[in-house]
Amino acid sequence: MIKILLIEDHFLVRMSQKIVLNEVYREPTIAEAESFEAGISHIQASPFDLILLDTDIPDGKNRPMIERIRQLQPGVVILMCSGADEQIQALEYITSGANGYLSKSADKEEMITAVTTVMKKNRYVSPAVQEKLLEAVSTGNQSGKGPKVVKGLSVREKEVMHMLIKGKWVKEIASDLNLRANTISTFKARIFQKMGVSSIIELARKVGD
């Protein structure tokens, strides 16, 4: 039986999530928390298969919430749910370790797609976010001039940069390159500094300019 934790402070949102989850899974065990600390208490007490986490939950601190959950349950699937602009936040949460990002304005079918996708250990962002990222990356190639040459980055930094733009997590990149996660985090910080950006979307846009 699948065990799911909803960390969401709005009653109606939790109710709608439960309705959809009961359609996707047969008799799931669903726990609820109205604050991040209450959610942490649930996580400390019991293992979960899936956590739906509100990005703006009381007691929560944005992306560091993911790291704290991973310290307690490293393998749990985390689907972020937010009313904020997904095209600004989605990839930042994904690269911070979330399995997916779902807008609270999504319809039932998209929520089902998001849940089933992340539960297969794949990542989920909406088609709109995927399109925006692809557009940012491909803009520089539409004139027929070929990929933009990024100056000032080492060969390894360029390799890490392109993997970040593809949406890979720091831990995934570390595994692919046989390096430590903190080494990749250092590369990421250095790339952001050299490129003058503060997010993956900004980085993708700059590479595509």
Distance CA(175)–CA(184), nearest Å, equals 10
Q: Residue 196: what pLDDT? A: 87
Q: What does the pLDDT look like over 39-50, one tens digit per residue?
A: 999 999 999 999
Backbone phi and psi for residue 103, each to the nearest 5 degrees, phi listed first: -75, 140
- Extract the runs of DSSP E, i.e. beta strands, from the chain: 3-7, 29-33, 50-54, 77-82, 100-103
State yes or no: pLDDT of 208 exceeds 70: no
* Burial 57-96, CB ≥16 within 10 A → b, else e: beebeebebbeebbeebeebbbbbbbeeebbebbbbbbbb
Distance CA(23)–CA(43), nearest Å, equals 24
Q: Residue 152: what pLDDT? A: 80
Q: What does the pLDDT look like over 181-196, one tens digit per residue?
A: 889 989 999 999 888 8
Residue holding tokens 């990024």? Answer: 150
Q: Residue 136: what pLDDT? A: 57
Whole-number average pLDDT of the chain: 86
Backbone phi and psi for residue 80, each to the nearest 5 degrees, phi listed first: -75, 140
Among the ranges 30-44, 82-96, 116-130, 150-164, which has the highest mean pLDDT value?
Answer: 30-44
Distance CA(161)–CA(164), nearest Å, equals 5
State yes or no: pLDDT of 108 exceeds 80: yes
Q: What single string gives the DSSP state of each residue in 69-124?
A: HHHH-TT-EEEEEESS-HHHHHHHHHHTT-SEEEETT--HHHHHHHHHHHHTT--B
Q: What does the pLDDT look like over 56-84, one tens digit per residue?
A: 899 888 888 999 999 999 999 999 998 87
Q: What does the pLDDT look like over 194-206, one tens digit per residue?
A: 888 888 878 887 7
200-208 helix and 127-138 helix, angle to the nearest 10 degrees: 40
Domains present along the chain, CATH in parentheses: 3-125 (3.40.50.2300), 131-208 (3.40.50.2300)
Q: Residue 140: what pLDDT? A: 47
